Amino acid sequence: MSSVTSVVIVTYNGWPLLRACLASLREQERQPDEIIVVDNGSRDETRARLPVEFPEVRLVASQRNLGFAAGNNLGIAWARGDVIVLLNNDTVAEPGCIAGLVAPLERDPAIGAVAATMVFAGARDVVASAGIEVFEDGLALDRGLGRPLASLGGPRPVFGASAGAAAYRRAALHDVGLFPESFFMYLEDVDLAWRLRLRGWEAVHAPDAIVRHRYSASSVEGSAWKRRLLARNRMWVIVRCVPTPLLRRGAWRVLQYELLASGYALAHRDWPALHGRWSGLVGLRERLRERQAIQSAAVVPPERLAAWLRPPLPPRELVHLRRVTAELAALGTCG
């Protein structure tokens, strides 16, 4: 049976980006059944131009910037599809993208999430994300980041999907809940990936579902805002989602990462990253309350989840990845 597919796009002062994204959806081999744009209180021309140029799109208008997490939650609440496709407003979908994202969900009822292949807008043969991978020190990264597109191979299971371009089964979202709105943006998709895994939902990568991504076009790659939220939300994902046996086993690696990252931030006077870690500590009490509900609902043994955890990356490799990502993102601003 063919699924009813809803596409949800959250935007904030990004009309030129959004226009390109929506235009790409008109070129899809499989047309979505509905498209919902959540406008997070934009002050640009989005609300005036959207009904004129894309009358088929439903506009859900917020009076303030809800962030990525709450904005997507609002769009999902309005959507009627049993498959929810999420796209960043700074993505452009290749013609087979929607079909490629939906097909695995229609084939296998155990799959709760499908990751698209995201490539850099300025380097279309280089992978930006092919799903999420997680590490023993609590780190989460985009799978395949910086690798040649041709090296990915065929469909395969992944830990989770990057919400910048992904499809979710509504039943899975109903089972585990939506994005944590306290995160505002960044790593909320990692948190969701953990919760789906804890409840036994599978995730796969769809290599033929390709989107071109202007990486961090909305928040700017390497910005102080992004560094602060990443530092805070990393801590919150670990506290909320990692099962106790895995936390005990990996506690030293998590602490080692935090010490190294804090030392690096001090040496480079990266006050936003340090502030983010402090904010994470301030919010721990509430996150611990949330942890109780998440962990009590888990049905998958920790040992099965442990198989997904990769050994920590050397600090030098992390610094290299950050530099390469910034360079590739900068190419997209010109492409």
Where residue 196 sits, what CATH number does that domain have? 3.90.550.10
Q: Are 236 and 280 in contact (CB under 8 A)?
A: yes
What is the C-alpha separation between 98 and 28, in angstroms, rounded?
A: 7
Three-state secondary-structure class, residue 56: coil
Give the tokens for residue 52. 């004129």
Consecutive 10-residue runs of the chain (335 residues): their mean pLDDT? Answer: 93 96 98 98 96 98 96 98 97 98 98 98 94 97 95 95 98 98 98 98 98 73 86 98 97 95 92 95 96 98 97 92 87 56
pLDDT of residue 215: 72
pLDDT given for residue 218 in this prediction: 57
Letter for the amino acid at 269?
R
- What pLDDT sits at residue 334? 45
Dihedral of the alpha carbons of 239, 242, 245, 249, in degrees to the nearest 10: -80
* Residue type present at position 26: R
d(CA 128, CA 240): 26
In the chain, where do the E strands start and end? 5-11, 34-40, 58-62, 83-88, 91-93, 111-120, 123-129, 132-135, 140-142, 156-157, 165-169, 202-213, 309-310
| Structure tokens, 233 | 């939300």
Amino acid letter, 312: P
Strand pairing partners for 142? 132
Q: Which residues span the domain enclosing 276?
A: 1-335
Angstrom distance (rounded) from CA 127 to CA 152: 9
Contact 17, 44 (CB under 8 A): no
Q: Provide the 10 A C-beta neighbour count for residue 126.
A: 17
Cα–Cα distances (Å) from 246 to 242, 259, 309, in that order, read 7, 19, 10
- CA torsion sign for 91, 96, 100, 106 is positive
> What pTM does this model have?
0.95
User: CA dist 129 to 143, 149, 162, 270, Å?
Assistant: 5, 10, 7, 26
Query: What's the pLDDT score for residue 335?
Result: 42
Give the span between the Cα atoms of 280 and 154, in whole angstroms: 38
Query: Quick check: helix, strand or coil at residue 148?
Result: strand
Cα distance between residue 287 and residue 55, in whole Å: 41
Domain count, the chain: 1
